[in-house]
Structure 1
Amino acid sequence: MAIPGEQSGTDDVLSHEKNWSELPEDILHLFSRKLPDISDFIRFRAVCKRWQLSAPVNDHPPQLPWLLEQREDLENAIIRFYCLLSGKVHTFTCPASHRAWIKGPAYRYLFAYLLGSSQMYLLNPLTRDQIYAPWVNVLGCPDYIGPDLIAGGDIVVISGIKLNSDNGNPRPKMMAFWRPKADDWVYVERVGNSANAFYREQYFSNDEETGITSVIDIATKKIAYQVAPPVGINPLLEGYTVMVESGGRILRLFHHNEAEPCHFDIHYLYFGDGEGKPCWVKITNIGDQMLFLQYNRGLSICASNFVGFKGNCIYFLKYGRYLCRYDIGDGTTDVLPCPFVSVDSWFVPSLV
């Protein structure tokens, strides 16, 4: 007689095996929401039809940014990413990237600028989805063409010089804003030339020479505020400024290039009660947020969505080669493994 809890033979073992495809859909959905790497989410959906239906692509789990490798050869259609979470390199053959500069950082889409033409488009390298942008009346260097922030495919910003002038007047410096669902670009005369961020219909542009931040209302095309640089921060110091929306606030980070050990000065834009002028307020903690910076742009991600990651940290690219993590709390910097010789920007992968 078999002892309760023991298996009497091979047949009994097989009879006790579970058919995972028959799990309730709500349980399968919970499992799918715990997959922090989009590649695992894709494999989950590929198991069977039932698993696919339980994990709709428009309800995938939060994703850590992937690191985009800088492409030296634009003739090929290969795009490579490094996943910080898994330590794996993902390689995609994407015909739409042939002869195209690929820019970020971005959510869902990268920004592609076709070499030797005026053609520009948003590109999702996972789905190969493309959204073509209308012609833009701004001439900019390819190094500066690209999205300052595409939050859910929300907005694209290009800085440069106006191509066509009126009545022979000198061509002004311009910024052009475009939403994927819009028919055309919105043009605003440029007031800044460095770090940028976009939040709640306002564009925040920092001038690297003066340190003044201009807050531009997209609807009116006018400057709503001009904010003096933080007290004690000399814009001519050796370093660079990054602005990023994080947890509903606009943060301004100044990275001291020559400082050893590494150091960031962090401020948030305080608007007050509406009666006084906005100003920068210094902070030493960003809570549960992680910042992913690239040159003068960045992304903010909630750390509590990812096991093994903690908030109050800054991930940044040093000299375009080294991937580093700065702990704001204790001021330490770690150099992290990265398989790429040169890196370009961050991309948050998405299937929608």
Structure 2
Amino acid sequence: MALRRSLPCSNNATLPGTDRAAEPDRSDLPPELICANSNRSITMAQRQSLPCSKKVTLPDTDGAEEPDWSDLPLELVCVITQKIADISDFVRFGVVCKRWRCAVRASDLSPQLPWIMHEYDKYKEGNCRRFYSLLTRKTCTVNIPHSGDTSLVGSTNNYLLTRNWQTHECSLFNPLTKEELSLPPTPPEITFPSWVPTGPSFDPSSMYVVISRSRNLYFTPLYVCRPGDHEWIKIRDPYTPLIEGKFKNSGYTFYDGKCYASDLKTRSTKVIDLATSTVLHVVPRPEPSSTGFYVYLVVSFGRILRVCQYGKYSSKKNCLFRIYQLETGDRDGNQKEPCWTEIDSINNQFLFLHDRHGSAFRAEDFPGFEGNSIYFSKSNFMGKTFQLFSYDIKEKKIEELPGPVNLSHHWFLPSLC
């Protein structure tokens, strides 16, 4: 019956039945059926020469008009926005119509992975910078409107840290929302300020901004402030004998108002109260006495991890990681002197390590990224550019990731807040 309804109406056509009947006049069949039911192919000229017959137009099987997507219930629109992984798609979704834009909230944006800035960018024009998205593995171009006297010196969380070389004024700049937070001018001894990430907090009121690096190549003081402060506070304890250059391998991280810093000479970790600039604890190194490893301190969902990378930093094959967790209490919950305990798994989490600093993420939030893994960068040429790799903690295997090989040490977590 399906074939019978699809045939054209013709006074001469005879449909085959159950009884033996005369061969139907195939000249009345449409060209599509002729091609489908014949072993011979026909030319375009032959097809055009076929007789035209009156065809029956069947009604639309859908029987409904195109729906007006702008009338979706706002509750459903909110659910959809929470399922969008990429921040670029999130923004595009919000500009479809006014109704959707009203429903989209920046707080609904899913957790994001870092954007890493390109170092040597021959495509750079004016104030534009190119960033590589670890999530989509695509490159985005972002406009950063700053004058020629202002340069990018680092980043912290979802902000880039800029400094005016004439006035020494600093500011935090969100390259996506264009929000700018003013900071005090840098102290005179800070000739080349270097950023230090301050943990997972995205609230500017609770965010510490820390800079380092001075004329003294061996001892690098740290200066701390918050957005809105009028001056930088120097951490009085000279705990960071940090050698510049390729041996710059001490790790820092900040969490819950405290600074955790790995001393290059002793490899111990000092816990410093940022409010009082006093040393609370000195945690001995957990590794056996050896050299040739790099220390990362990472905040991982309330835990402090010490990640040691062994092997030549420029080697793509010779690489091994050991992970330690900072313990501050016993099994009964009683407080004790902090110490490092080695762990062999971080379960469903993965770490991102880049330029001596890192962040932790849940693999369930990022399809395609494996838990119990480390995604990290390795320098290519004289430590100027970086390339991305992954490390399987259980199998102890390293794999080179596709992507650009000219990444810089500047990276931030994209945010619309």
TM-score normalised to structure 1 length: 0.86
Q: Counterpart in 2 of 1:4?
A: none
Q: Counterpart in 2 of 1:228?
A: 284
Within 2, Cα distance between the matches of 1:349 and 1:77?
18
Counterpart check, 1:33 vs 2:33? no
* Aligned partner (choices 235, 247, 260) of residue 204 of structure 1: 260
What residue identity is the alignment partner of 1:124? N
Q: Which has the higher strand share?
A: 1
- Structure 1 vs Structure 2 CA RMSD: 2.7
Question: Alpha-carbon deviations, 1:211-252, whole Å to 9, x = none?
Answer: 011100112210000111114253xx1231111101211111
Q: What are structure 1's unaligned runs of at least 5 residues?
A: 1-6, 164-171
Question: Alpha-carbon deviations, 1:24-75, whole Å to 9, x = none?
Answer: 1111111111111110000000101111111112332211212221257999
How far does residue 209 in structure 1 lie from its aligned partner after superposition?
1.8
Q: Counterpart in 2 of 1:157?
A: 210
Q: Counterpart in 1 of 2:406?
A: 341
What residue identity is the alignment partner of 1:267? Y
Question: Alpha-carbon deviations, 1:192-215, whole Å to 9, x = none?
Answer: 242100011110011112101110
What residue identity is the alignment partner of 1:272? G
Preserved CA contact (<8 Å) 2:115 2:134: yes
> Matched residue of 2:235: which SS?
strand
Matches within 5 A, 1:1-352: 9-10=59-60, 13=62, 15-70=64-119, 76-96=126-146, 98-104=148-154, 106-137=156-187, 139-140=189-190, 142=192, 145-149=194-198, 151-152=201-202, 153=204, 154-161=207-214, 174-189=221-236, 190-192=238-240, 193=242, 194-232=250-288, 234=290, 237-258=291-312, 260-273=317-330, 276-319=336-379, 320-352=385-417
Distance 1:97 1:15, change over 3 A: farther
How far does residue 98 in structure 1 lie from its aligned partner after superposition?
4.6
Preserved CA contact (<8 Å) 2:258 2:271: yes
Distance 1:108 1:218, change over 3 A: same
What residue identity is the alignment partner of 1:146? W
Preserved CA contact (<8 Å) 2:388 2:401: yes
Within 1, Cα distance between the matches of 2:144 and 2:66?
41
Preserved CA contact (<8 Å) 2:390 2:400: yes
How far does residue 8 in structure 1 lie from its aligned partner after superposition?
5.6
TM-score normalised to structure 2 length: 0.73
Preserved CA contact (<8 Å) 1:321 1:343: yes
Greater RCO, 1 or 2 (C-alpha within 8 Å, sep 6+):
1
How far does residue 156 in structure 1 lie from its aligned partner after superposition?
1.0
Question: Alpha-carbon deviations, 1:81-113, whole Å to 9, x = none?
Answer: 111222221001211275544344532211112
Preserved CA contact (<8 Å) 2:191 2:214: no
Distance 1:72 1:24, change over 3 A: closer
% of aligned pairs identical? Answer: 33
Distance 1:327 1:20, change over 3 A: same
Within 1, Cα distance between the matches of 2:228 and 2:168?
19
Preserved CA contact (<8 Å) 1:147 1:155: no
Distance 1:183 1:287, change over 3 A: farther
Preserved CA contact (<8 Å) 1:240 1:295: no
Report which stretch shifted further, 15-24 or 317-326.
15-24
Within 2, Cα distance between the matches of 1:124 and 1:105?
10
Distance 1:23 1:75, change over 3 A: closer
Greater gyration radius: 2
Q: Figure out how many residues of one structure are paired with residues of the other and give that number.
A: 335
Preserved CA contact (<8 Å) 1:105 1:294: no
Within 1, Cα distance between the matches of 2:397 and 2:227?
40
> Matched residue of 2:375: which SS?
strand
Within 2, Cα distance between the matches of 1:330 and 1:79?
37
What residue identity is the alignment partner of 2:209? V
Within 2, Cα distance between the matches of 1:344 and 1:24?
44
Distance 1:14 1:310, change over 3 A: farther
